[in-house]
Structure 1
Amino acid sequence: MSPTRLRQAVGNWRHWWDLAEVAFAGWLLVVLLGGPDNVGRLTGLGAITPVFELAANWGFQAALASVFVGFALLHLRQESDLAD
């Protein structure tokens, strides 16, 4: 991947917003189902309980951080559009 394409992919506010949605949905699902251990028992996927623990512990923070980065990039884009 060329540096320009990478910069466009990482610098697009929509990608950060999508990441925030996925992180928040994962966190909310684990929390509503009763925590990582309960999700492992309900789904029969006890082997991937560490993934559920990661979603429960860091999903909300990752969603907030992604939202802030996305809004910052959106602001920069709007400012550059106004300057043009």
Structure 2
Amino acid sequence: MTSVISTSTRERIITVLRAEVSAVPQDVRDDTPLAQFGLNSMKQVDVLFGLEDEFEVQIDENDLKDNAFESVGTMTELVEGVCRG
């Protein structure tokens, strides 16, 4: 079950993501690989900056796992982890 915070975080992440990769559907599942919509390493950098702006956080290299941008679910874990400190 998704918490209210996660739902809000998820929606904000999708908004940032779709600004860079418009092919991502609004109702994308949390576990759908985002590479199939065209999210490549160059766009990941833009999404990273967008997430930092949206959530007013600094995401350090140490915060990033290899799969951080694999799906909406992994991006939500990243953002919530950084926001918790």
Same fold (TM over 0.5): no
Structure index of larger Rg:
1
TM-score, normalisation: structure 2: 0.31
The structure richer in helix per residue is 1
TM-score, normalisation: structure 1: 0.31
